[in-house]
Chain A
């Protein structure tokens, strides 16, 4: 069902997978490309070369040990805490929305938002670093004050797809939300 090529806001290709489980249940998964071996090699080489240069001047082997430990630890933390492979949003009409993301290390986090808390799903604009981007977010409401927005939950925070991708997800979400 994929026919358009999507990219994130920096121009890297991403893929969007829409699954229709039934008429009121849909899942959208945005996958970023896997970590490339070239990039890992590049960073590792850079750190090791710098460490070797320091070692060359100071003749202290602890620098080299430190560099090896640093790269290993850095890589582990990166795949465990930073690098997200898939981000998915599962919308089930009348029940709620589940937002989950799976990291490169295999760790998964997910949160579930009850439909009674969901006010709407909208596309909003924000200033992010040195650009102005569109993002998709869920507006939450407090059951005691149903007309106010109590909190905003941004979706696809790590992959940051561009507008054409967001519009597609938005339209499907609205189809389900308007029916319940």
Chain B
């Protein structure tokens, strides 16, 4: 048995006729802008890249529930409280579709969850910043969900079918999330001096981290090129970033507030928006676990998992007993 395995792995260095055919079919589907589906053959690096990306996205939805859940109990009106609960609940739903999409690539939800809890998988580093005031609910909706949408709308066209389709639904809901965030800031900006100050402070804190959500600059993003060739990704990090900053530069005027970026301007020559240099050292430090909230976010998730263990065990035991009694 062992000999055969070794033999196979050595042989795979030279693709078989079937493998070459499969690769050609895959390339044709990508070239034709059609979709790869779960039963189609796909190269292992494509599967691996997608599994990583889709599961990171799912983890981000789940961890991203925490900063907002932090304000549910203190929401300043019952209507805002209801909207916030609905939003956080949508995020749990997004996590569920994305884990399902990731599972079609052959990794189970338990394994993906384990990767998150043991720190082997990442989530969007913006959630490692604290939601310190109510205005952060506005800034997170407007800037963080806004950046997420700018990133995710092109993913509706991702070459992997289940991911693209999950993204269509998610983007529709995210669009409402962004608007509710903007509406929170709009109310604050038309409110008392203290409310206006709260809104400006939240924008000041979330501006830079939200721009960094698009990932490192193009010349420092080694995986982007392959993802674009596979049509998972359709636009470069910098391109999406400048597109987003242009949108918020206009929207902030409606709020009568400002973005903390004196260098922000539209460059007529290139037709692109320019912004200040971002603090990528901080970004890397937060990704590596050094953000203000990394430890708390992870511990909260681990605690929920640990404290729920007896419930999951009991549910499994009950399901087994039911299955046995049906057989008998």
Q: Is the pairing of A and B real?
A: no
Chain B interface (Cβ < 8 Å from any Cβ of A): none
Chain A interface (Cβ < 8 Å from any Cβ of B): none
